[in-house]
Amino acid sequence: MAATATNHRVFIRTEATPSFSRSRSCPKPISNHLSFLASPPSLSSSIQLSLPNRRLLTLSPHAHHLVDSSQPSSSSSSSSPPPPSYKPTILVSEKLGNAGIDLLRAHAHVDCSYDLSPQELCDKVSSCDALIVRSGTKVTRQVFEAAKGRLKVVGRAGVGIDNVDLQAATEFGCLVVNAPTANTIAAAEHGIALLAAMARNVAQADASTKAGKWERNKYIGVSMVGKTLAVMGFGKVGSEVARRAKGLGMNVIAHDPYAPADRARAMGVELVSFDQAISTADFLSLHMPLTPATSKVFNDETFTKMKKGVRIVNVARGGIIDEDALVRALESGVVAQAALDVFMEEPPSKDSKLAHHPNVTVTPHLGASTKEAQEGVAIEIAEAVVGALNGELSATAVNAPMVPPDVLSELSPYVILAEKLGRLAVQLVAGGNGVQAVKIVYKSARDPDDLDTRLLRAMVTKGVIEPISSAFINLVNADYTAKHKGLRISEERVTVDSSPGSPLHSIQVKIPNVGSKFASAITENGEISIEGQVKDGIPRLTCVGSFGVDVSLEGNLILCRQVDQPGMIGQVGNILGEHNVNVSFMTVGRTVRHKQAIMAIGMDEEPNKETLGRIGQVNAIEEFVFLDI
């Protein structure tokens, strides 16, 4: 027996005695591979969190709640590990580089079906774990609905994810990943190619010459040197365009509300306002994403602010230009020329005035289409999708928090703790329903700003929601689902005097304004409160209401409030032993000696009703609750 002080209360920690418990071998440290839910239980698929090197979080089939895979699975656990032979199915709906396809085939059944109609896509997707697209496939809400929860990852083999309904993906708990870097240079080179081709009428002169004409005077161009180029969107592609344009002797300015000025300055590029950019530029090169904020930002009003005779290149997205307004601007001469790789509707209609305008050079969305970029993108997306299916959150996740590997590695035991505390707290609520708010308190010696709690919040949310609803929660949809269910999750970070070596001292989960099946779990503030810590890598329950306990959070748990008197441990232990329920751990926490105590009993097996009934009949037991961790 060891006396330990926790939360300013003394409690007795009692190791399970040989008379009623098998002495359990030292728990293994938590492994670096943690299953971590993912899809509706009926569909038996799950996300896992794994931590090898640069990998972050994994989705893997056939487990739907958090399991420390280094531990024997508990009989009550509803999760089951993925069958070792499980091979996911990946649908590739657009042409992908061979290297990527080969990589996918090494890990999955790969179905390359191109040019699918929306209906065909919906029909196929329900038997696929992942879908890989480029810009030509619209991944709509209907696709996620049709997938019926099977689709766990959408991989966008490229940058722009405007063809994927991210909101629907998030609601359905489907991870979206993209390949943001491999086509940057290709897109920038295409931008420069269009800029030069437009300035020198290359496409028009080519067509004319091939038609047997020799129109040297008609195709006099304009020079680029010394002209002002405004790069609209100074991200990866925009800054590479800027670098190349400077090499052509152009004066480069840029507009990007989110770009750091020092990065621009280092390249000799001045960041300016939108109006300043469009009113001073001789050439505009567009490189911003299509978002609600950028949709049709180039319109009648903004064209009138431009320098007469401006030339525009668009290798970003058609939707950022109001195409009818551009036709008007071309006809009025405000815009002298345009070179477009992208269109609102792709391909543009056969009678598109814009695509057929003599002063417009067009290409069929070729920005990313170099051999090098396509191989690179294919590998980048294949790695991200396979990684996600194997349990890793790719660093290119679009709709899930990206937690750096080092942070994740530190937080992993707390991730398990967070989910288990959520599960326990909600099981303590009388009736299990009516939970409207959950407060999570993170106690740490570190500066609160150093603590990234998104993962922990998601796991508490998962723990709270899953036992009381049919919803399935993962890192992707946790916040959304909580909000949708009217569940307010609030967080507080409290600095405590503990070891700065670990990211957290403890996590406390509180549920206010509810009754409890176990009155002792309610604090003086009238809220259910439980707290846990990670000790030697193992999540443990350390406080219930105002009572200190110390029990490993695995298997099943009974909490009893009893009169603090000798023999209680033996009585309860004997009942469990007689019913072949193995006690893994037992602690007693008390408030006042000989008054009241709380006994927390961890068990490997789930006791049956009769066993629980007999425990309830022990005279000194005032209340008890069985909890499935």
Ligand X SMILES: NC(=O)C1=CN([C@@H]2O[C@H](COP(=O)(O)OP(=O)(O)OC[C@H]3O[C@@H](n4cnc5c(N)ncnc54)[C@H](O)[C@@H]3O)[C@@H](O)[C@H]2O)C=CC1
Q: What positions carry a catalytic annotation?
A: 317, 346, 365
Give yes or no for residue 368 binding ligand X (CB under 6 A).
Answer: yes
Residue least distant from ligand X (Cβ)? 235
Q: Does residue 360 contact residue 352 with C-beta atoms inside 8 Å?
A: no
Phi then psi dihedrals of residue 491, to 5 deg: -130, 145
Q: How many residues bind ligand X (CB under 6 A)?
A: 32
Tally the C-alpha atoms within 13 A of residue 19's C-alpha that lie toward its C-beta: 8
Q: Does residue 62 contact residue 44 with C-beta atoms inside 8 Å?
A: yes
Instruction: Pick the closer one to ligand HPV by CB: 233 or 503.
Output: 233
Instruction: Pick the closer one to ligand HPV by CB: 344 or 408.
Output: 344
Q: Does residue 87 contact residue 109 with C-beta atoms inside 8 Å?
A: yes
157 binds, among ligand X, ligand HPV, none (CB under 5 to 8 A by kind): ligand HPV
Give yes or no for residue 288 binding ligand X (CB under 6 A).
Answer: yes
Instruction: Pick the closer one to ligand X by CB: 362 or 416.
Output: 362
Segment near ligand X (CB under 6 A); pick from 181-189, 380-388, 467-475, 498-506: 181-189
Give yes or no for residue 315 binding ligand X (CB under 6 A).
Answer: yes
Task: Tell me the C-alpha distance between 1 and 16, whole Å.
Answer: 10
Selected binder of ligand X within 156, 287, 443, 590 (CB under 6 A): 287
Closest CA to 381 of 215, 182, 537, 575: 182
Task: Tell me the C-alpha distance between 209 and 229, whole Å.
Answer: 30
Measured from the CB of residue 372, what is the shortest distance to ligand X in angstroms?
Answer: 13
Measured from the CB of residue 458, what is the shortest distance to ligand X in angstroms?
Answer: 25
Q: Which three-class secondary structure state does DSSP give residue 387?
A: helix
Measured from the CB of residue 412, what is the shortest distance to ligand X in angstroms?
Answer: 30
293 binds, among ligand HPV, ligand X, none (CB under 5 to 8 A by kind): ligand X
Measured from the CB of residue 158, what is the shortest distance to ligand HPV in angstroms?
Answer: 3
Residue least distant from ligand HPV (Cβ)? 158
Instruction: Pick the closer one to ligand HPV by CB: 131 or 281.
Output: 131
Segment near ligand X (CB under 6 A); pick from 141-149, 231-239, 414-422, 578-586: 231-239
Q: What is the DSSP-derived secondary structure letter of residue 16?
A: P
Q: Does residue 460 contact residue 437 with C-beta atoms inside 8 Å?
A: no
Q: Residue 93 has which token pair?
A: 């709906």
User: Got the DSSP string for 177-198?
Assistant: EE--STTHHHHHHHHHHHHHHH
Task: Tell me the C-alpha distance between 330 and 359, whole Å.
Answer: 8
Q: Residue 33 has which token pair?
A: 């591979």
527 binds, among ligand HPV, ligand X, none (CB under 5 to 8 A by kind): none
Task: Tell me the C-alpha distance between 425 and 625, whole Å.
Answer: 12
Quick one: how many helices (H) and strands (E) in the chain? 17, 28
Measured from the CB of residue 120, what is the shortest distance to ligand HPV in angstroms?
Answer: 19
Give yes or no for residue 292 binding ligand X (CB under 6 A).
Answer: no
169 binds, among ligand X, ligand HPV, none (CB under 5 to 8 A by kind): none
Measured from the CB of residue 190, what is the shortest distance to ligand X in angstroms?
Answer: 7
Phi then psi dihedrals of residue 437, to 5 deg: -145, 145
Measured from the CB of residue 121, what is the shortest distance to ligand HPV in angstroms?
Answer: 16
List b or e across 112-133, with b for residues whose CB sees 16 or more CB atoms inside 10 angstroms: eeeebeeeebbebbeebbbbbb
Measured from the CB of residue 542, what is the shortest distance to ligand X in angstroms?
Answer: 44
Measured from the CB of residue 136, what is the shortest distance to ligand HPV in angstroms?
Answer: 6
Instruction: Pick the closer one to ligand HPV by CB: 188 or 489.
Output: 188
Measured from the CB of residue 175, what is the shortest distance to ligand HPV in angstroms?
Answer: 18
Segment near ligand X (CB under 6 A); pick from 122-130, 138-146, 290-298, 302-310: 290-298
Q: Does residue 389 contact residue 88 with C-beta atoms inside 8 Å?
A: yes
Q: What is the DSSP-derived secondary structure letter of residue 526?
A: S
Give yes or no for residue 235 binding ligand X (CB under 6 A).
Answer: yes
Give yes or no for residue 136 binding ligand X (CB under 6 A).
Answer: no
Positions in the binding site for ligand HPV (CB under 6 A): 134-136, 157-160, 183, 365, 367-369
Selected binder of ligand X within 88, 97, 155, 367 (CB under 6 A): 367
Give yes or no for residue 234 binding ligand X (CB under 6 A).
Answer: yes
Instruction: Pick the closer one to ligand X by CB: 214 or 258.
Output: 258
Geometric angle at alpha carbon 412, from 408 and 417, rounded to 5°: 140
In the sheet that 109-112 helps form, which strands lie side by side, from edge to edge? 109-112, 89-92, 130-133, 153-156, 175-178
Phi then psi dihedrals of residue 478, to 5 deg: -60, -55
553 binds, among ligand X, ligand HPV, none (CB under 5 to 8 A by kind): none
Task: Tell me the C-alpha distance between 149 and 44, whole Å.
Answer: 10
Segment near ligand X (CB under 6 A); pick from 16-24, 230-238, 242-250, 535-543: 230-238
- Amino acid at site 251: N
Residues 185-204 within binding reach of ligand X (CB under 6 A): 187
Task: Tell me the C-alpha distance between 107 and 91, whole Å.
Answer: 13
Give yes or no for residue 341 binding ligand X (CB under 6 A).
Answer: yes
Q: At what angle do helices 184-199 and 202-210 cross, to 10 degrees?
A: 60
Instruction: Pick the closer one to ligand X by CB: 59 or 264.
Output: 264
Selected binder of ligand X within 64, 311, 317, 423 (CB under 6 A): 317
Place of tokens 């349990």: 391
List b or e across 546-585, with b for residues whose CB sees 16 or more CB atoms inside 10 angstroms: bbbbbbbbbbbbbbbbbebeeebbebbbebbbeeebbbbb
Give yes or no for residue 298 binding ligand X (CB under 6 A).
Answer: no
Give yes or no for residue 232 binding ligand X (CB under 6 A).
Answer: yes
258 binds, among ligand HPV, ligand X, none (CB under 5 to 8 A by kind): ligand X
Selected binder of ligand X within 261, 293, 494, 496 (CB under 6 A): 293
Instruction: Pick the closer one to ligand X by CB: 108 or 230.
Output: 230
CA distances to 298, 423, 454 from 484, rounded to whole Å, are 35, 19, 18
Give yes or no for residue 183 binding ligand X (CB under 6 A).
Answer: yes
Structural element, H or E, at residue 122:
helix 118-125
Task: Tell me the C-alpha distance between 341 and 160, whole Å.
Answer: 14
134 binds, among ligand X, ligand HPV, none (CB under 5 to 8 A by kind): ligand HPV
Contacts to ligand X by CB under 6 A = 159-160, 180, 183-184, 187, 232-238, 255-259, 287-290, 293-294, 315-317, 341-342, 365, 367-368
